[in-house]
Amino acid sequence: MYSEDDLLPVSALQHLLFCERQCALIHIEQAWSENLFTAQGRILHEKVHSETAERRKDIRVEYGMPLRSLRIGLVGKADVIEFHRRQDGSWQPFPVEYKRGRKKPDNRDNVQLCAQALCLEEMLRVSIPCGAIYYGKERHRTDVEFDEALRKETEETAARLRRLIDSGRTPPPVYEEKCDTCSLIGICLPKTIENGKSVSRYLSMMTREE
């Protein structure tokens, strides 16, 4: 069990699965830069979190609900938690995450959502079999099953995140096509540093050119 002071953000799981270096730059070096994509995502989440809780006959909807798990050491905030009334009168939580873009070719969105479910299960002492991700570009909600494989991947990712943060070391860059959409590309300098040039040499070169 982790203490409150040791909890890491749920959002960092997605950063880690996208790129270890990006994750380290954000969560170890506290570096951040915004581009069009991150700005759109931030505005979408702010809008969702500002919504007022809804109450209907068989469904309750909570927005921006705080989450935490002392077992796996995570803390965060859910975009939307729907509570569906079951036949016995109890309420079944159903987490919904909002994303500005499209469904990813990898599993990072599903891991982030599953981490929210694990937090809720610990907080509410219930079992949560599934949730959903709403993709703004597609205007479509995709259901996600929290099976054993996804749960295992999520917990392993949380452990991997903690090892990275505890190391205090930022991995070297490896340029990939996805780097071009990353808001931190100007800080990371993947093409420059990967080619063997240090940041100091790069800055010295740029100064001479000016």
pLDDT values of the chain reduced to their tens digit, one per residue, 210 residues = 899 999 999 999 999 999 999 999 999 999 877 665 666 656 666 766 666 778 888 999 999 999 999 999 999 999 999 999 999 999 999 999 999 888 988 999 999 999 999 999 999 999 999 999 999 888 889 999 999 999 999 999 999 999 999 999 999 988 999 899 888 888 888 887 655 545 555 455 555 555
| Pair 195, 205: CB distance under 8 Å | no
Q: What ranges do the domains of the chain cover?
A: 4-169, 172-210
Residue carrying structure tokens 């050119």: 209
Which CATH number is associated with domain 4-169? 3.90.320.10
Please tell me the predicted confidence (pLDDT) of residue 54. Answer: 82
Q: What is each CA distance from 202 to 80, 141, 199, in whole angstroms? A: 45, 45, 5
| pTM flag (> 0.85) | no
Which of 2, 6, 13 minimizes the C-alpha distance to 117? 13
Please tell me the predicted confidence (pLDDT) of residue 100. Answer: 86
Please tell me the predicted confidence (pLDDT) of residue 1. Answer: 87
| Pair 63, 51: CB distance under 8 Å | yes
